[in-house]
Amino acid sequence: MPTAPSPFPYAVTGAHTTLGSVITMDAWAKLAQVPDRREPGSVLDGSFITRLLGIEGKSWGPDQFATPETVAETARAALACARLDARDITAVIVVTCNPYQTLLDQDAFTFMRMLGIRDHVPPLQLGAGCAGLARAAALVAQLATERALVIAYSVPSRITFDEDGVMLPAYRDNTVHPYGKNLWATPALFSDAAAAMVLERDEDIDGLVLYSRDSQSFGNEPGLDDPLIHFLGGGTEHPGGAPGSAELSCFGMNAPEIGRYYSGGMTLNHQALEAARPGYLDQVHRVYTHQANPRLVEEFIQHTGLTAEQAPSNVRQLGNTVSPSTLALLHADQENGGLAYGDRVCFSVVGSGPERGAFITPIRIPALRPLASHAE
CB 167 within 8 A of CB 33: yes
Across the chain, which has 376 residues, the per-10-residue mean pLDDT values are 90 99 97 89 94 97 98 99 98 98 96 98 97 99 98 98 92 95 96 99 98 96 96 95 95 96 97 98 97 95 93 97 98 96 98 98 95 54
Question: How far apart are the two ends of the chain, measured CA to CA in Å?
Answer: 33
Phi, psi of 190 (to 5 degrees): -85, 145
Ramachandran class of 241: left when φ > 0, alpha when ψ lies in -120 to 50, beta otherwise: left
Domain ranges of the chain: 1-368
Question: Which CATH superfamily does the domain covering 1-368 fall into?
Answer: Thiolase/Chalcone synthase (3.40.47.10)
Q: Nearest-CA neighbor of 99 among 44, 46, 155?
A: 155
- What is the pLDDT, as a whole number, of residue 1? 62
Q: Which run of H or of E encompasses 140?
A: helix 132-143
Longest CA–CA span in the chain (Å) reads: 64
| Identity of the amino acid at 163 | E
CB 348 within 8 A of CB 301: no
Give how far Cα 105 sits from Cα of 45, 75, 102, 216, 371, Å.
39, 17, 7, 29, 42
Q: Which run of H or of E encompasses 57?
A: strand 57-60
> What's the burial of 203, exposed, middle or buried (CB within 10 Å: 0-12/13-18/19+)?
exposed
Q: Nearest-CA neighbor of 53 among 166, 159, 146, 190?
A: 190
C-alpha torsion angle, residues 282, 286, 288, 294 (rounded to 10): 90
Give how far Cα 159 sits from Cα of 13, 110, 307, 319, Å.
33, 19, 36, 16
- What is the pLDDT, as a whole number, of residue 38? 86
- What is the pLDDT, as a whole number, of residue 40? 86
Q: pLDDT per residue over 244-288, tens digit each?
A: 999 999 999 999 999 999 999 999 999 999 999 999 999 999 999
